[in-house]
Amino acid sequence: MKSARRNWQRKKRKRKKGGANWRSRIIPQGLKRPLLNKKINSSLPFSQTKNTRCHGDFPHGFYYEDKTMITASNIALSYGKRVIFQDVNIKFTPGNCYGLIGANGAGKSTFLKILAGQLEPDRGQISKGPGQRIAMLNQDQFAFDEVTVFNTVIMGHKKLYRVMAEREALYAKAEFSEEDGIRSGELEIKFGEMDGYEAEAEAAVLLSGLGIPERMRQKKMKELDGSDKVRVLLAQALFGNPGILLLDEPTNQLDLDAIRWLEDFLSHFQNTVIIVSHDRHFLNQVCTHVADIDYGKIRIYVGNYDFWYQASQLHFRQKETESKKVKAKAEELKGFIQRFSSNASKARQATSRKKLLEKLTLDDMPTSSRKYPYIVFKPERPCGDIILEINGLSKEIEGVSLFEDLNLTVNKGDKIAFVGTNSLAKTTLFQILAGELAPDKGSFRWGVTIKNAYFPKENNGYFGNGELDLIGWLRQYAPPKEDASFVRGFLGKMLFSGEEAMKKTSVLSGGERVRCMLSRMMLSGANALILDEPSNHLDLESITSLNNALIAFPEVVLFASHDHQFVATVANRIVEITPEGIIDVMMNFDEYLAMKEAALSGENIYQERQAA
């Protein structure tokens, strides 16, 4: 019997040491493993289909490229008394996509800069394999203003760009010396080794997928608007098949089509990816792991964002239960000691329990950096029969038509998501409905029972007086009968507690301004809400709170958002603004996307048959 038990223990230790193979791992439900059963997609850039091999240990169709991991060892960073990281040890392995999440200010972007070598930690080191190229999404939209769009993308691979520039300068010479010939041969070898002959085609595929048309590719970056600049910088980061790809908010200013293209690109990307994003649907689609920054540490969970949320909540509840049990046991021991420490017959038992009490570890529950604002919209009255009627509305800006002869009737209970690639058209329509802009033609009418509240995409005009503190700012929108204590309590629910409520509006961050604007809307008592990209600048916790608040709101919502999950869970009606007019359907967002995909597929089949 003892021999059998020893054998079992030996096998258990061996299994624990060696680890389970890939087939025996439990993959959480809903986890998308991008590299399993994925064959090379011919529509992707060439760098994603070259230099790959099919690993013998994996099922047919799994392509894997040997890469080393990137490792952070004993990383510590502080700003004054504020500790950002303390002894962080973490490794990111190839073939995986990590979503780096945490509250605003937790250090997500800072950690990416440390990994990229752009910021030195106080202590610790980052190690990666020799020759590994790290690409990071550039956040400076003005860094390449004098460079063409095409060259900006190629500059994502600095070594290749230098070789390309020297090669072009050499061939531009009027006279070609023998030394030039030798040098050109060396450059051609380097150029070929770095897939330089395919660089133009790869850059074109990336730009096309992200919505940058061919006519813009020889323009200088300074000629592009902010949204297009972001797309080009994203193409720059993706270019050249980097070994380690670091993306900080890559979906910002992308439309839904571009986001879906990026999801597909990353699902086929075979190297290491680390992403910071507030888009929950995007994280669910691309992530195999989640790296959670909280409690001053970084903890990795296997699975996508939804799985992380369930696992982290379970972990927290387990810790909370353990803490309560230990505290209850400690109280029981203390009570016994107090009752019987002076009793001679019980003295030995009291001493024994005192030793037990000393051995108990009474750890306080760590304080999470995650905080959820209290967002609830309470209408003063329900909507009547007439909500909003729009008749023949038209608007041009600088000679460009945004919409023409737009007709729309909003009904009770409608939660309408306005979608489409033209963000300016949606913003302009909302400004007209909010009374901030006049239409060129047509009219609209709100019902007599309707009180609307507007959340604009740009809110600078609401914070013109930078000398006001938050209490003074919000009192402008509070009911006259309410005093400063009411406003302070309201701000506390929106995570402006204590001294935070005395902040000047001139020093507020983008996320703090959004929470102020949402507070203003909540105080309005409106029964019709107009929101233009309300999730911009918010962290995941605030987005979740706002998302839940709009789901629970019983009246009318008109909104635009690039957050897939936000649109899919709130909207019951979709209106797409197109150059040919509007598409108006009573269905949720996922049903609408499926309908569009089916229509596009049918159109392609028809065209193929016509061509045959």
Residue 68 confidence (pLDDT) above 70: no
Same domain, 347 and 417: no
Same domain, 507 and 548: yes
- DSSP-based three-state secondary structure for 576: strand
Same domain, 341 and 465: no
Residue 453 included in any domain: yes
Span 369-418, pLDDT tens digits: 788 899 999 999 999 999 999 999 999 998 899 999 999 999 999 999 99
Residue 489 included in any domain: yes
Higher pLDDT among residues 141 and 61, named by residue: 141
Higher pLDDT among residues 554 and 176, named by residue: 554
Look up the CATH number of the domain holding residue 592: 3.40.50.300
Residue 466 confidence (pLDDT) above 50: yes
Same domain, 441 and 557: yes
pLDDT band for 12, please (50, 70, 90 cuts): very low
The position carrying tokens 């030195």 is 120
Residue 261 included in any domain: no
Contact, 221 vs 149, CB < 8 A?
A: yes
Same domain, 348 and 496: no
Span 289-327, pLDDT tens digits: 999 988 778 889 999 999 988 887 787 677 777 777 777
pLDDT band for 104, please (50, 70, 90 cuts): confident
Q: Can you tell me the mean pLDDT for 573-589?
A: 94
Please give the distance of CA 387 from its chain centroid, rounded to a whole number.
34
Contact, 294 vs 107, CB < 8 A?
A: no
Q: Which residues contact 69 (CB under 8 A, 6 or more apart)?
A: 91, 92, 93, 94, 128, 129, 272
Same domain, 429 and 519: yes
Q: Alpha-carbon distance 584 to 576, whole Å? A: 7
Residue 167 included in any domain: no
pLDDT band for 449, please (50, 70, 90 cuts): very high
**C-alpha closest to that of 303 among 48, 33, 14, 600:** 33
Give me the number of domains the chain comprises. 2
Q: Can you tell me the mean pLDDT for 526-550?
A: 94
Same domain, 406 and 332: no
Residue 561 confidence (pLDDT) above 50: yes
Residue 157 included in any domain: no
What pLDDT is stored for residue 391 in this prediction? 96
Give the sheet arrangement for strand 97-101, strand by strand.
134-136, 244-248, 272-276, 97-101, 289-294, 297-302
Strand partners, 417: 559, 574
Residue 52 confidence (pLDDT) above 60: no
Same domain, 350 and 446: no
pLDDT band for 552, please (50, 70, 90 cuts): very high
Same domain, 354 and 393: no
Q: Out of 314, 343, 359, pick the residue that ends a domain.
A: 359
Q: Out of 338, 359, 380, pick the residue that ends a domain.
A: 359
Look at the alpha carbons of 458, 462, 464, 466 in this order and tell me if their dihedral is positive or negative.
negative
What pLDDT is stored for residue 254 in this prediction? 86
Residue 570 included in any domain: yes
- Give the range of the structural domain holding residue 475, as residue numbers without chain letter: 388-600
Higher pLDDT among residues 347 and 79, named by residue: 79
Residue 468 included in any domain: yes
Q: Alpha-carbon distance 495 to 501, whole Å? A: 9
What pLDDT is stored for residue 262 in this prediction? 95
Residue 363 confidence (pLDDT) above 90: no
pTM: 0.75
Same domain, 558 and 425: yes
What pLDDT is stored for residue 114 in this prediction? 95
Residue 427 confidence (pLDDT) above 90: yes
Q: How high does pLDDT run on average in the chain?
A: 84
Same domain, 418 and 531: yes
Same domain, 544 and 581: yes
Percentage of the residues of the chain whose pLDDT score is greater than 70: 85
**C-alpha closest to that of 107 among 128, 132, 88:** 88
Residue 313 included in any domain: no
pLDDT band for 55, please (50, 70, 90 cuts): very low
Q: Can you tell me the mean pLDDT for 188-207?
A: 92
Range from 99-108, 372-381, 430-439 carrying the lowest mean pLDDT: 99-108
Q: Alpha-carbon distance 112 to 90, whole Å? A: 13
Q: Can you tell me the mean pLDDT for 568-585?
A: 94
